[in-house]
Structure 1
């Protein structure tokens, strides 16, 4: 009999007696370790009601008190990061050091949100008209929902909820049912930090829970990260129900390597960016674009490094862990087979590898294709696995056209020693996040994260200034305190004077 990961509603664990459940697996061993409760629309309604009830009190809590709780949460998180990282590795499979780095990057947004008093300051203008003053404020929205993916169980939710809570909103988090334990662990930490009941709630679930959040009239905004088809659905459904929506979708991230680049650095970073977390990152390098005559040498250097990686249980001494589920493994191996069938050169095959883990785990090793063309399925689809592609072009302009013709616009990078080439690339490329000699250009917390084209639906990126604006709305107050008799009747349009 497995334990069941519960919901967290109104400051306590909650498991409905008649709820559906799903299995949660340890991907390194390929075995079920627990169940997770799947919320009904009624369970979602309970969480929304708790957030709705908690909102007035939290909205009116002083910035000083809100910030004190955020600081306490930050300190507790810092002390217990290894505990959270172990939970992530057990359910997602990424190696422990990568899970720990994930928590640390999420913590950066908590630290950014600790400065909320500075971030929501309004403006004041005195005497704009005779004895009339105007000031602006940024007010919280109310209950907000976050729907997060499996690949970053801690970091992606932390892109959103620290700012939402600091700004005075209440939160319902719907984590991926594949990796539910981290969210409930975080909820307990918030309670220990002193967050009032109902301000942070967790509902585990599937499409039933997602649809209930998208259509509930009391939810004011939706923050989503996931595949592009679902991001589009979330954006269209949430918007149709009157909500603010920021929906971050999929990616096909290109790394352009120029002839003058340091090829050892480029090969190192292609492997780091392509195979970290078994390629299950929306910012993973998926395609290396080799410009000019360096393609053969670059391909061999990448292949040498790929073959040296150790794949196994993320709790052991290895470089790369498993994929998250058996279905993910089946999909990735199927795409590898399609690449062979369509004529790409398979340089490194990760389907048959020796792993430091039970044979029942969901493992695919580092895989490298060369001579890939843009009509191949391995290029047109987001693989979300440890599969790196090499496409060969003759010029920088050809590389730019290739990147810009892709429907995704999440992240890209260029490796070069030529400042003119880098400047032309970052000026002409139609992608939201650009790296120069950096393979995975994920912005720090006080800048905003998000792509262009089919990688983002909505106008707001995650965290940074965009995050603060998304979780608040502007209010402008015009005031006058008359000192004497009335001004008399005047039906004309008011003007300053």
Structure 2
């Protein structure tokens, strides 16, 4: 059985821990690897390695750091299929979606601490290339459910020439997170994951004087105006809702969507549009949420519970699901992120009578990550983007994630911190401003100061 390694001081090492967790293929339940919950000594060694590497790396000229990043970009492009296969095997995405994750991560890398990361390939690429290019050294903790792609990226980083200690990789769950939050030599923490974990990491990290950015949950609403192009809108929202994104606020489109949902299958199978959810627990939680919505009066137009796939009887299958007639009074489904192929819908003219009411529904939600408006009206688009209290807005675009040189700007309950991930704010997060005020007098005598021999003397006023 393959065991996941630690990366400490440039060496891939077997952990000495006695605590291990299984990494499973969500389509088959096969154990594909064993992951160590690293010991305190191993964690401290990783942090010390980064601390030791920092003085030299921070003074490495930026063009030399950039050269390593460009070499890494080339290697990621070359190994994209292997990275995507790892994501599919451990996380369940289709190969097409997994390749998209890697490609998207490359965008942030091209624009190019302690990091806790709940995602597989894309999110580490939001973090460690930018952090290290800025002169930091990093300890990365991948998700314990799908560490394979992160480990492959670490191998490629070393091959690209990243010096030992600049990137270390540890594994674990709660204890490793707490060590990250409490260690005095870790100055900044980047996190992507659940609301509960993000709130905990932000509060405990800040209490320990650390800079923290925490990207958390999302409830990505979409508003479809009566003048929207129905065919283009159905195609866009079907891909968004059933391509691992979020639910939608829609009008007269239910029939078109019900007839156009994709094929459920193992992610590596040809023609698969939708893979399994990551764990049996996730499947049970999603099915409970669907049942709760139905019990509270929603109409199930398309039911993905109890889905099965030939040849994969043990997979964590949840098929595309559409619940219509959902209202804010239903509580659970409209308000919570389900991380499921489930589309919960309000009806235009019945549950939302105007654009203003649709905006108020979105603004009443605790999350403010992304939202979209489908319309042919420039005036409606202007009103929507001005009044909606959400950080990323798409107009006729279902998932409004901007180009990599912009930051990922979730608002309200979707983000804790003051500097967002990647883009200009990402660079600001991974750097600090130092202000130096000097005064030189012509009468100051030049010479070698004790303790600075070898630095070189200069004559003030002659530069």
Residue 207 of structure 1 aligns with which residue? 174
**How many angstroms does 1:373 deviate by?**
1.2
For residues 69-468 of structure 1, the aligned pairs below 5 Å read 69-113=68-112, 144-149=113-118, 152-276=119-243, 279=244, 284-288=245-249, 290=250, 295=251, 297-306=252-261, 309-317=262-270, 318-376=272-330, 377-392=332-347, 393-468=352-427
Give the match's secondary structure for 1:34: strand
CA distances 1:296-345 after superposition (whole Å, capped 9, x unpaired) = x3111121112xx1100100121110001111111111111111211110
- Structure 1 runs of 4+ with >3 Å offset: none
Q: Kindly indicate whether the alpha-carbon contact (under 8 Å) linking 2:246 and 2:337 is maintained by their aligned counterparts in 1.
A: no
- Work out the CA distance in 2 between the residues paired with 1:262 and 1:178: 40
Give the match's secondary structure for 2:436: strand
CA distances 1:32-75 after superposition (whole Å, capped 9, x unpaired) = 22210112332211110110011011111111211111111111
Give the match's secondary structure for 2:427: helix
- Work out the CA distance in 2 between the residues paired with 1:238 and 1:108: 29
- Work out the CA distance in 1 between the residues paired with 2:141 and 2:384: 38
1:48 aligns with 2:47: yes
Q: Kindly indicate whether the alpha-carbon contact (under 8 Å) linking 1:310 and 1:355 is maintained by their aligned counterparts in 2.
A: no
Give the match's secondary structure for 1:477: coil
Q: Kindly indicate whether the alpha-carbon contact (under 8 Å) linking 1:51 and 1:171 is maintained by their aligned counterparts in 2.
A: yes
Give the match's secondary structure for 2:345: strand
Give the match's secondary structure for 1:314: coil
**How many angstroms does 1:106 deviate by?**
0.5
**How many angstroms does 1:354 deviate by?**
4.3
CA distances 1:72-106 after superposition (whole Å, capped 9, x unpaired) = 11111111111111111000010001111100110
- Work out the CA distance in 2 between the residues paired with 1:252 and 1:18: 38
Larger displacement relative to structure 2 (207-216 or 372-381): 372-381
Give the match's secondary structure for 1:173: strand
**How many angstroms does 1:352 deviate by?**
3.0
**Structure 1 residue ranges without an equivalent (≥5):** 114-143, 487-497
Give the match's secondary structure for 1:94: coil
Q: Kindly indicate whether the alpha-carbon contact (under 8 Å) linking 2:320 and 2:342 is maintained by their aligned counterparts in 1.
A: yes
**How many angstroms does 1:16 deviate by?**
2.5
Residue 434 of structure 2 aligns with which residue? 475
Query: Could you say which structure has the greater relative contact order, defined with CA pairs below 8 angstroms and 6 or more residues apart?
Result: 1
Residue 11 of structure 1 aligns with which residue? 10
Q: Kindly indicate whether the alpha-carbon contact (under 8 Å) linking 2:17 and 2:37 is maintained by their aligned counterparts in 1.
A: no
How many residues are matched?
439
Q: Kindly indicate whether the alpha-carbon contact (under 8 Å) linking 1:285 and 1:439 is maintained by their aligned counterparts in 2.
A: no
CA distances 1:11-46 after superposition (whole Å, capped 9, x unpaired) = 111222234110110111122222101123322111
Q: Kindly indicate whether the alpha-carbon contact (under 8 Å) linking 2:202 and 2:214 is maintained by their aligned counterparts in 1.
A: yes
Instruction: Report the TM-score when normalising by structure 2.
Output: 0.93
Instruction: Report the TM-score when normalising by structure 1.
Output: 0.86
**How many angstroms does 1:478 deviate by?**
2.0
- Work out the CA distance in 2 between the residues paired with 1:17 and 1:448: 39
Residue 68 of structure 1 aligns with which residue? 67
**Structure 2 residue ranges without an equivalent (≥5):** 446-463
- Work out the CA distance in 1 between the residues paired with 2:109 and 2:17: 36
Q: Kindly indicate whether the alpha-carbon contact (under 8 Å) linking 2:298 and 2:326 is maintained by their aligned counterparts in 1.
A: yes
**How many angstroms does 1:268 deviate by?**
1.1
- Work out the CA distance in 2 between the residues paired with 1:320 and 1:265: 20
**How many angstroms does 1:356 deviate by?**
4.6
- Work out the CA distance in 2 between the residues paired with 1:212 and 1:205: 10
CA distances 1:432-470 after superposition (whole Å, capped 9, x unpaired) = 000000000111110000311110101111100000000
- Work out the CA distance in 1 between the residues paired with 2:178 and 2:355: 44
Q: CA RMSD in A?
A: 1.3
- Work out the CA distance in 1 between the residues paired with 2:140 and 2:248: 33
